Structure 1
Amino acid sequence: MKPINPWLLLVIGVGVALAGYFATLLTTRYGFSTPVLPLTGLVTMGVIVVLTLVLGVRVLRWRNGKKKKMLNPILAAWTLVLAQACAYTGSVLLGWHAGIFLDQLRLWNLRSAQGVTWQALAMAGGGLIMVVVGLVVERFCRIPPEDGDAEGSQGVREKRGKPEAEGEYAYRGD
């Protein structure tokens, strides 16, 4: 599995921000409500962030040798997938609600109730937290190269025709 490219998250966020901005323009023009998630979505985002952090800390403690018990490799893989999903989802939520916030900001003085603007800002903040936690937990799942493995494994991989990928995730079989 490849590590997340932060530039890809940025491109996704900007693209979805443009979509959110234009969706808000259209819904405002035709008299529909603003397409922002309710604040109860922050609770769900918080549960996902806490679960990702808890699982990531378990992997980190095992990786650093503080746990003597063997880590279930399926759990470690799920943690990595959850971290990456958290980062991608956060990027989409951040972009969408940032686009809505930018559209609502231009109407700030014209509206008496700015609840939608604050709601979009809160959801964008939640998306940013999801991106950060996803990237941090993904780093927790990275196995550092062993001292003796750096030279030996690289030669074996090159003989097979597979150069060693930087940032590769591995299973530590202690």
Structure 2
Amino acid sequence: MSWTTVLGVVVAILVFWGIGAYNRLMRLRNAIGDAYVLLDQHLNERAELCSALLAKLRPLLASEQATFDSLDSAQAEARTAAQAARLKPYAGDPVAALAVSSAVHAAALTRLMSLLEHQPDLREREGIDPMVDELKLVERQRAFARQVFNMAVTQYNEAARQFPTRILASLYGFAEARSL
């Protein structure tokens, strides 16, 4: 076997490895996008339920406008952040903004739920209990979708950090993804 044959075999192995590593990184990055679609669906459901709940509660609890305004503001911020993350769910900055806005939204929603816990007669009389139950279900589904998203991010980041794939990842701009 001549040295040119050996060199040709080594180059072919490197090319096939490079193609395989690139395709694996793309598949894992696409999995982040797929996981985000599920998460985004639950974020939208939560936003719709919160809006419906607020519409029903505003006339009944006029003294709690600050709580409602806080939730409205947090919801608008979360929608904006979710829209930015929807474009590139594997990019760090939009996902970081979504994480912050989701935390603010969760805090505002917790305040609203706490308020409703102290109003059992209002919840039953006005038919708010089914909406609250549905919102709790969507929150559990959103939490699960968030776990799926974070697992996809972890798998992608681990693959991108492994040597020698790390070299290829940096060459082709596979930046580290951010979890929620």
TM bucket, shorter chain: 0.3 to 0.5
Higher Rg: 2
With the length of structure 2 as denominator, give the TM-score of the two structures: 0.39
Greater helix share, 1 or 2? 2
With the length of structure 1 as denominator, give the TM-score of the two structures: 0.40
